[in-house]
């Protein structure tokens, strides 16, 4: 589990019908050891975005700027971007795209849903959280998915559209602790998962039904697989499951 910093956003973005009270939420990622090598799932903020005050002001709209992690989350594990065999990104919002350029520069592929890439390239703007400098010009690096897909042994992408048109969540099967479902922004908070309340913000307002269906799918899969269902930005949950010595097994 990777601590990639924190951001302060209105709760109404995370939970439909919630007030606009701002919450500090963790920005997270995951690194999975597989038979095919290390798979990086999301990567927090890029240094370019964290140095771009204008972009931050447009994303956070009067709120405080995001916090950097205390140390590079991969470096803290003794891992460099060059050690990653494959990257994957849940969606192209600025709090998830920080590792894309470095993974691509190391000659590695990055899994992304086709609908997400198409939306970001044609309609995504900084006002909607899309920071183009993180992903422009990476065409040769993409591994474009049309739906669910196995990424490596024990790691699969699950299509969970709604929050954004091509949002992905991830299934990780571990030998000792079983199946984990990483919802990312299909469910920011435990409240989404416990109450079945969908996200409050969608890149396309007409995707509200798709967001609700994706959340229902994750909750159903968690029950079917007896899986740990991990929300994408819940501070209490992430403190409980943060990376232990040697990682989760």
CB 200 within 8 A of CB 215: no
Q: How far is CA 237 from CA 32, 166, 209, in A?
A: 19, 25, 26
User: What is the C-alpha separation between 211 and 214, in angstroms, rounded?
Assistant: 5
Q: CATH number for 2-241: choose from 3.40.630.30, 3.90.230.10, 3.60.15.10, 3.40.50.300.
A: 3.60.15.10
Q: Is the pLDDT of residue 34 over 80?
A: yes
**Domain ranges (residues) in the chain:** 2-241
Q: What are 62-118's pLDDT values in tens digits?
A: 999 999 988 899 998 899 888 999 999 999 999 999 999 999 999 999 999 999 999
Mean pLDDT value across residues 194-214:
97
pTM: 0.97
* Residue that has been written with the tokens 């951001």 in this structure: 7
Burial (Cβ within 10 Å: 0-12, 13-18, ≥19) of residue 106? middle
Q: What is the structure's pLDDT at 120?
A: 98
């Amino acid at each position: 589990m990777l601590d990639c910093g924190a951001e302060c956003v209105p709760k109404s973005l995370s939970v439909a019908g919630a007030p606009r009270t701002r919450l500090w939420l963790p920005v997270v990622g995951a690194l999975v050891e597989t038979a095919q090598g290390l798979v990086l799932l999301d990567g927090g903020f890029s240094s370019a975005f964290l140095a771009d005050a204008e972009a931050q002001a447009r994303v956070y709209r009067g709120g405080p700027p995001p916090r950097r992690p205390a140390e590079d989350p991969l470096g803290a594990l003794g891992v460099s971007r060059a050690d990653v065999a494959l990257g994957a990104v849940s969606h192209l919002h600025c709090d998830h795209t920080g590792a894309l350029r470095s993974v691509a520069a190391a000659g590695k592929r990055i899994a992304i849903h086709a609908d997400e890439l198409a939306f970001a390239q044609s309609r995504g703007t900084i006002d909607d959280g899309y920071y183009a400098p993180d992903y422009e010009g990476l065409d040769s690096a993409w591994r474009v998915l049309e739906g669910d897909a196995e990424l490596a042994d024990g790691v699969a992408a699950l299509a969970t559209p709604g929050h954004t048109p091509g949002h992905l969540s991830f299934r990780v099967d571990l030998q000792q602790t079983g199946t984990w479902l990483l919802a990312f922004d299909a469910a920011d908070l435990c409240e989404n998962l416990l109450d079945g309340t969908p996200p409050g913000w969608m890149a396309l307002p007409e995707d509200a039904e798709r967001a609700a269906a994706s959340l229902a799918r994750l909750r159903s899969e968690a029950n079917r697989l007896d899986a740990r269902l991990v929300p994408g930005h819940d501070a209490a949950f992430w403190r409980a499951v943060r990376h232990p010595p040697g990682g989760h097994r």
